[in-house]
Structure 1
């Protein structure tokens, strides 16, 4: 699986108002991009990836909207991996790997169980000014 996201040949960036409709639009855009890149929607990675994406955008809508009027989704793919990031301008950085074992971890716990179960990785990257973050997910194809 590629570890350098800059090297992935396929990329798409989507910025939306941080409202509930962002979840549906982020998923629909992912489906369109995957098809354009030759990754069929029946590929075994696609359904879990869309679930993870939907959960991350939902979390942004629920928890970051007051500080972050927009949510940005970055989609990327290569021959052996699919990657995406959900960015908002809320400074809180959830502890991703602790969410798997933590009681009441909720959506992030589900995200991490799926990511780890598929042999993927997740990382939170803070904005340079500390005022926001991106949660990057990378999954093998």
Structure 2
């Protein structure tokens, strides 16, 4: 996995965990990618926007009560794109079941799209207690 600090392009957006969050996160991603010179027609862009939308929607749907804010990290380098969605809800979703099966619902789509593009998906818990980030790394 590429170290975030090694990527030349980074942007962090903190927004209310509520209506409009998905749209704002997605529009911010589109603007950032354009500013960074990532071609909107690149095969990873549309799936990346769908992945981002699903992760932010999950925060809105499941974490709003425990996490009034959601933070999205966007980063890119010449060969990869990194997206992370953080909230303070204590539940840490499993991206794979004990038998290696994908999770149900939207996270299955996230995992399928990520792995289909040759990327990685991980859930990282907060060092200070409740909360987690879902990190997606996609090759460009």
State TM-score, norm by structure 2.
0.95
User: Are the equivalent residues in 1 in contact too, given 2:96–2:102 (CA < 8 A)?
Assistant: no
Say what the alpha-carbon RMSD is for the aligned residues: 1.5
Aligned to 1:128: 127
**3-state SS, counterpart of residue 13 of structure 2:** strand
Could you tell me which residue of structure 2 aligns to residue 101 of structure 1? Answer: 101
Q: How many pairs are equivalent?
A: 139
Q: Which runs of 5+ in 1 are unaligned?
A: none
**Who is 1:77 aligned against?**
76
CA–CA distance in structure 2, aligned partners of residues 24 and 98 of structure 1: 30
- The alignment's TM-score, normalised by the length of structure 1, stands at 0.94
- Runs (4+) of structure 1 exceeding 6 A deviation are none
Q: CA deviation at 1:98?
A: 2.7
State how 1:2-81 maps to structure 2 within 5 Å. Answer: 3-81=2-80
Specify whether residues 43 and 102 from structure 1 end up closer, same or farther in structure 2 by C-alpha distance, changes over 3 A only: closer
Residue 61 of structure 1: CA displacement?
A: 0.1
For 1:82-127, what per-residue CA distance to the aligned partner results, in whole angstroms no more than 9, with x for missing partners? 0010000001111113397257x00001100001111000111111
In 2, the alpha carbon distance for the partners of 1:135 and 1:102 equals 15
